[in-house]
Structure 1
């Protein structure tokens, strides 16, 4: 692809481990290639950004580790290191009764307009 790669937005709606894990795989992969990435979680997807994260405690994490696959905690650290913008949807937090104070440091709270502005003419993937 000639020129600068378009931004990538990843919209995470699911609170399940597999979708959250793959959202992080896509986000870190795209960022490693130099793309600007925004990971936007809404509704149950906001669980990914909880400070007391339940997803790294899922049984599937041990299976991934045993098979040499990066888990959620490792991918979250890589996402931060790669400068991936992490946003929890304000309405999604309210829908799930998650207080903003329960989120990991560095996670923004904003709405879908912020996501769309960050992506501009780029691509959006929904999981």
Structure 2
């Protein structure tokens, strides 16, 4: 199937949540998926992601919707490629040790190579 690349640059819970919704859905139907997070979007890939403490997590759980925690687990199980943008990390003062386990540090060229002629989404 055609690869999907998702660029997460937006801050906050909503873009991060929907990036994971799209990524895990695409992976579940067999598409190879790469998520590149940069700048404010890097909050999703931090070891201590503040997004899990966002009040929307409890709201979503109460309504039977998978939250970021559940979707991150699914992303891992589905083999999504999660990349933290090296330049974005420098811009935000994030060290490689601040990232969650399994997150790759690379740049835009690596991201684009992984997607090839596939689709790109930006959130």
The TM-score normalised by the length of structure 2 is: 0.99
Task: Give unpaired runs (5+ residues) of structure 2.
Answer: none
Q: 1:114 aligns with which of 110, 115, 118?
A: 110
Structure 1 runs (4+) greater than 2 angstroms displaced: none
Query: Is this contact kept in 2: 1:16–1:45, CA < 8 A?
Result: yes
- The whole-number CA distance in structure 2 between the counterparts of 1:11 and 1:116 is 10
The one-character-per-residue Cα deviations of 1:11-32 (angstroms, maximum 9, x if unpaired) are: 0001210000000000000000
- The whole-number CA distance in structure 1 between the counterparts of 2:66 and 2:37 is 20
Equivalent position of 2:41 in the other structure: 45
- The whole-number CA distance in structure 1 between the counterparts of 2:58 and 2:21 is 17
Q: 2:48 is paired with a residue of what secondary structure?
A: coil
Superposition RMSD on alpha carbons, in Å?
Answer: 0.5
Task: Give unpaired runs (5+ residues) of structure 1.
Answer: none
Structure whose residues are more often helix by fraction: 2
Equivalent position of 1:12 in the other structure: 8
Q: 2:73 is paired with a residue of what secondary structure?
A: helix
Aligned length: 123
The one-character-per-residue Cα deviations of 1:62-116 (angstroms, maximum 9, x if unpaired) are: 1000000001010000000000000000000011111111000100000000000
